[in-house]
Structure 1
């Protein structure tokens, strides 16, 4: 049996009315039901589903025994959830979670957040002890602007909003723009033979993006295997002379979200252009090709999410292609005190 790693103290069952433990494979349906039930009330633009939870439990970078938390009522129904994720050499941890709306306003969200903070401090300490770079612990959590109860909780616990993002839509009822590739470039389908080259191109393209970290093989495999991924709607731009990846667009479609939101969206999960190919219209060509594929598949809108202060001019690119902001989210951050030996 593998040695069980040390873990942060769990929330108090007496104070919260819930029994707490890490998530396990046997919890998948219960866990997914909690998230979906919360989403049905709070209506976020996106939420984690069954396939995402499997990836969380399969992670070797973030051991689910120390990075996940579920709270169960007396009948064994999951009512609250929290987790953190962090790369071993990363400068931040990211937190996610939810509380069943019927169990909110009882201090449970505060208890989950306190656990996330403690686990973040422990994770930074463990990574430093293992020889990775030592950083001041910091936890980041992203919320949608509409969820004022989440913002209020974070503010009370000393978080501050440090970055804003726009969800953008482009109606596909309008004509798809024609943006042919520049001479010497060609479209290729996203196939397994290109996965690694696209990963490396992504790491280069996003090196100057705020908050971005290198995608390792595990996280990229999860991206490629994401249940909502549509590789047939994705595309890769390749330099015809060298075979190098110049840019890429990774698309997805979530039928559950379509039913919830009342429209079908082809979603651009990732769009990147390597530095040496910027300024040649590659981004516009990728977006136009994505729109064409989305429209051919019967989608109502093309959608994406963009950092409002993106240094590569992505916001201007999307506005120029007919996208408009429809919602906003923000990233909150708290600097934590490191553990003392």
Structure 2
């Protein structure tokens, strides 16, 4: 699908999608033929705004394959007169979930013209539609009266992105959570954290993926904002282009082989250029509730540090909810991690 022959926003039998109120650009949904231009738009924006992480082409390829959030109904691209994407928005939502997540970017040369506000309005309108679609499906399956949660849109922004934070505040959003990026230099002595007798640490293996998914859903059931990950959502984690199973590990109960803890890591080689150092990043760390207090998280982090250091990396990195109910912030500080950056979760109830 090219920019010139692509259709407008599709209805796909579910009702017409919202329009974007910014006539300076031509709007339509994204398609496979847009991957390079879409990734280039995000890269241009990232070069100006310097976020810690942003989507690359390989990430967009994964997004194109989503069944739960098909791009034909959950993305918009704004094209200039030459067919070059200058702005985009994307929405994701779990079926029957209590919130939707919004993502958007505007080309640096097109900012301060109202495109960001128009994209925010589109995300809000599409969020209302997604909740209505889920409610309709529930009523078909369960009969009248099954309405579900009130629509809520959540957007994550780094605290340093002041103009985006100002737009969200002016648009009626409020900060509901703070997340801290933390670093631990690997040049310092690495901690020793042996496991209890009866527990075994093994490398992450594809054959363990489903057991780790089920363990993760149990571990995060009491975490704010967390929703169970189905097979597709878990596939985005396991098959992430930056995922490094060789830097990841799982703790098993020796008598049953049950997954009781896990550390899933990734590595972005571009950080050596954009941030001036190399890092191993812990995407997910969890311990089953009945096994907490036995030093499993410490053992997994210590193992991760050794794996990262052996791979020649400078730092171990992770993100943590500042109000994590397990006391993770204190644990990370004890292991030598220090906060270096803050992200904000902004919510608006629609």
TM-score for the superposition, normalised by structure 2:
0.93
Picking from 6, 13, 17, the partner of 1:8 is 17
Partner of 2:5: none
Q: Aligned in 2, Cα 1:268/1:7: closer, same or farther, shift over 3 Å?
A: farther
Correspondence for 1:296: 310
CA-to-aligned-CA distance 1:58-78 (integer Å, 9 cap, x gap): 111112111111111111111
Aligned to 1:128: 135
Does 2:204 match 1:195? Answer: no
Alignment partner, residue 224 of structure 2: 210
Residue of structure 2 equivalent to 1:30: 37
Q: For residue 7 of structure 2, what is the aligned residue in structure 1?
A: none
> Could you tell me how far 1:13 is from its partner in structure 2?
4.7
Counterparts of residues 92-103 of structure 1 (less than 5 Å): 92-103=99-110
Structure 1 residue 4: Cα displacement: 4.4
What do the CA deviations read for 1:13-54 (whole angstroms, capped 9, x no partner)?
52xx11111111100000001111111110001111112111
Counterparts of 1:306 and 1:236, CA distance in 2? 20
Distance 1:238 1:170 in 2: 26
**In 2: Cα distance, 1:111 partner to 1:121 partner:** 16
When structure 1 is superposed on structure 2, of 110-119 and 123-132 the one drifting more is 123-132
Is 1:113 aligned with 2:120?
yes
Which position in structure 2 is the counterpart of 1:87? 94
Q: Which residue of structure 2 lines up, in the alignment, with residue 67 of structure 1?
A: 74
Q: Which residue of 1 aligns with 2:247?
A: 233
The residue number in structure 1 matching 2:193 is 179
1:145 is aligned to 2:152: no
Q: Distance in 2 between matches of 1:305 and 1:314?
A: 10
By how many angstroms is 1:226 displaced? 0.5
Is 1:42 aligned to residue 56 of structure 2?
no
Task: Give 1:257 deviation, angstroms.
Answer: 2.7
Greater displacement, 59-68 / 136-145:
59-68
- Secondary structure at the aligned position of 1:29 is classed as helix
- Is 1:222 aligned to 2:230, yes or no? no
Q: Does 1:312 align with 2:319?
A: no
Question: What are the ranges of 5 or more consecutive residues in structure 1 without an aligned counterpart?
Answer: 337-341
Q: Which residue of 2 aligns with 1:331?
A: 345
- Note the C-alpha offset of 1:165: 0.6
Alignment map for 1:259-298 (pairs within 5 Å): 259-298=273-312
State the alpha-carbon separation in 2 of the partners of residues 76 and 203 from structure 1.
43
Q: TM-score scaled by structure 1?
A: 0.96
Task: Give the drift of 1:7.
Answer: 3.9
Alpha-carbon distance between aligned partners in 1 of 2:94 and 2:185, rounded to the nearest angstrom: 37
- Number of aligned residue pairs: 333
Gaps of 5+ in 2: 1-10, 139-145
